[in-house]
């Protein structure tokens, strides 16, 4: 395998492992945070950027309430999660012009959930041809933009769309 420079991964590799849920502290303030990559916090659900993304523009939508029970979501949580998933597709479409999306929930560790104790949906913009030799042969993915640059591009769009603030 050939190495690819990805400095944001060192924090994950060498940094201390937080105890408890990794999402709940980011949602505790109840408002967007550039430092925590929180793009939007609603009454029932939130949008955050994946700190260790699979690809460029990888977002997460999650209930604010700490739960791993999909069938235990309230109607209000389910409706807001669906609304935020649609907002993610709309904002990413406008800002990044992807050709498609992967949207998904890995329910439980056996289903691939790396963080199984707090439900979260993945939204990954995709481009034709983005499955290139790096991922197929070198077990590497290329992220073309720094996470904070992406945050600064997306945050105004979410503010305008979901909070009624001008873009």
Q: What is the set of active-site residues?
A: 120
- Distance CA(141)–CA(67), nearest Å, equals 30
* Distance of alpha carbon 68 from alpha carbon 46, whole angstroms: 15
For 18, which DSSP code? P
| Residue 69 near residue 27 (C-beta atoms within 8 A) | no
d(CA 134, CA 151): 25
First-to-last alpha carbon distance for the chain, in angstroms, is 42
Backbone phi, then psi, for 104, in 5-degree steps? -165, 160
Residues 6+ apart with CB under 8 A from 89: 101, 103, 123
Rounded-to-integer distance, Cα 114 and Cα 152, Å: 26
């Amino acid at each position: 395998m050939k190495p690819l420079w990805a400095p944001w991964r060192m924090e994950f590799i060498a940094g201390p492992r937080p105890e408890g849920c990794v999402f709940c502290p980011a949602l505790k303030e109840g408002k967007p945070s550039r430092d925590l990559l929180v793009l939007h916090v609603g009454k029932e659900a939130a949008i955050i950027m994946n700190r260790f993304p699979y690809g460029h523009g990888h977002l997460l939508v999650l209930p604010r309430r700490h739960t791993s029970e999909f069938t235990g979501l309230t109607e209000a949580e389910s409706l807001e999660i669906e609304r935020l998933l649609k907002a993610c597709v709309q904002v990413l479409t406008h800002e990044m012009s992807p050709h498609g999306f992967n949207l998904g929930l890995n329910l439980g560790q056996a289903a691939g959930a790396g963080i199984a104790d707090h439900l979260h949906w993945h939204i990954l913009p995709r481009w034709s041809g983005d499955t290139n030799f790096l991922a197929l042969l070198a077990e590497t993915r290329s992220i073309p933009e720094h996470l904070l640059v992406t945050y600064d591009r997306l945050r105004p769009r979410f503010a305008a769309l979901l909070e009624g603030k001008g873009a």
